[in-house]
Structure 1
Amino acid sequence: MADTARRGDPGEPVAIVTGATGGIGRAIAARLDARGYRIVAHGSGTEDAGAALVTELGDARYVDADLAAPESAARIAAFAEESFGRIDVLVNNAGIGIPVPHRDLSAVSPEFFSRMIDVNLAAPWYLTQACAPALARTRGTIVNMSSMAASTVSGSSIPYAVSKAGLEHLTRLLAVALGPEVRVNAIAPGLVDTERTLGWTEIRDHVIA
């Protein structure tokens, strides 16, 4: 990523952070803001939280979009370029994870499985496609938010773990396809306490054990 930029510098870098109104995304947006990035903060159905977030950041815009819709990617990329004139970082952080016991195969409907793949795997692909030309011009960076569930027998559900495993391999493929102009990496955290996971008592107890 670019070094910390001076506020007001017309060349200061721009980061798109998806899922920016959630716990991890909000922290990422705040850290990038502190390093001098202008922020395009994405959320889905979180307009009030998005409006509050951008007031806390130095120079930020909020965009609301359902990432399961492929056309949302082009809209977010265009919004970033129209707002700030460039894209330096894409953080594919948005994701969904709904607890379903791995042994309960019948509890996973086709709609559930498709939604996991659409948001956790297809959306980062579509956003990368949409942002790749702008990122190549700035020699930018893509960071995909994976999970330990991508490489271990864990995760909130089997579809969730499968979607993250796909995201990690997508990261490897894109790193080769887009490099050296664009760097592509993934981060694979374990369970993180956020407002979404605080009620996951059974999963938290398992992780602690």
Structure 2
Amino acid sequence: MISADLNGKCVLVTGGLSGIGLAAVKTFAACGARVAVNHLPNDPATKQVLDELNQDGYLIVSAPGDVSDPDQTETMVEQAIETLGRLDILINNAGTSNTREPIAFDDLDAMSEAFWAKIMQTNLIGAFRCARAASPALRSAKGAIVSTASVAGLGVPGSSIAYGASKAGLINLTRSLAHALAPDVRVNAVAPGLVRTPWTDPWPDERKAQTIANCLL
């Protein structure tokens, strides 16, 4: 477990109910931060996960909202900041592959307009919406933004062409926001390889092995 003194710091983690997002929530909270956990408004796992986090003594608040929806995103960020009282760190983790299993790159017919729209609205534009809404509070706090990209955005085959493109866009967005918000806000991204989560569990073993082989570490 990462150890740091984050007492007094306030964090918003989007997509925080499972996988990498939930791990981030637990880590920040264990280090003393107050954490707003963003989740889909009707996610059935919400109550159980938040109850377990609060039972562990963590300082957790709920921040419902779908980042693919512009109105919900702005309201979610504003309410999270109001509840926390400030915002020091934004973790742009909410994302979707929009598929349970990888889609072959040569299956272009599977890349429908609706498929592209869902992925880009969540993975790329949603991250921008959150950053834009949070930027005044982050500037005041001299805070930071960290976005969850992917090795799929660096050329390693991901779950689909659209997913890889969205993560490549997120990496570029990170660079642009770093310039736009400097020197008040630090903006970075991490690009994980294959991580065992409910997303990747259904993947064929062959595809998992291929993805791991294409990663540097």
- One-letter amino acid matched to 2:171: E
Q: TM-score, normalised by structure 1?
A: 0.91
Q: Name the counterpart of 1:81.
A: 81
1:167 matched to 2:170? The reply is yes
The structural deviation recorded for 1:54 is: 2.7
Say if 1:40 and 1:63, in contact at 8 Å, map to a contact too.
yes
Unpaired runs of 5+ residues, structure 1, are: 7-11
Equivalent residue in structure 1 for 2:199, among 175, 191, 196: 196
Q: Structure 1 residues 102, 45: closer, same or farther in 2, change over 3 A? A: farther
- Deviations 1:101-147 (Å, cap 9, x if unpaired)? 11100111100011110000000001111000000000001001000
Determine the C-alpha separation between the residues in 1 that align with 2:19 and 2:69.
23
Letter in 2 for 1:36: G
Counterpart position of 1:127: 130
Q: Secondary structure at the match of 2:90?
A: strand
Structure 2: segments with no counterpart, 5+ residues: none
Judge which range, 73-82 or 44-53, deviates more.
44-53
- The 3-state SS of whatever aligns with 2:11 is strand
The alignment partner of 1:91 has SS state of: strand
Deviation at 1:48, TM superposition (A): 4.1
SS in 2 for 1:204: helix
Q: Does 1:70 align with 2:70?
A: yes
Contact 2:123 2:167 in 1 (8 A): yes
Aligned to 2:148: 145
Which of residues 83, 91, 109 is equivalent to 2:112? Answer: 109
Paired position in structure 1 for 2:48: 52
Contact 1:51 1:62 in 2 (8 A): no
Question: Does the Cα contact within 8 Å between 2:66 and 2:73 map onto a contact in 1?
Answer: no
What SS does the aligned partner of 1:36 have? coil
Amino acid in structure 1 at the alignment position of 2:67: L
State, as a whole percentage, how many aligned pairs show the same letter: 37
- Give the counterpart of 1:206 among 198, 210, 215: 210
1:33 maps to: 29
Residues 156, 203 of structure 1: 8 Å contact kept: no
Residue identity in the other structure for 2:68: A
| Equivalent-residue separation in structure 2 for 1:208 and 1:90 (angstroms) | 28
Q: Using the alignment, how far apart are the partners of 1:81 and 1:18 within structure 2?
A: 13
- 2:10: which partner in 1? 14
TM-score normalised by length of structure 2: 0.88
SS of residue in 2 equivalent to 1:126: helix
Q: How far apart are residue 50 of structure 1 and its match?
A: 2.4
Structure 1 vs Structure 2 CA RMSD:
1.5
- Size of the aligned set, in residue pairs, is 202
Contact preservation (8 Å) 1:21, 1:46: no
- Read off the aligned partner of 1:116 and give its amino acid letter: I
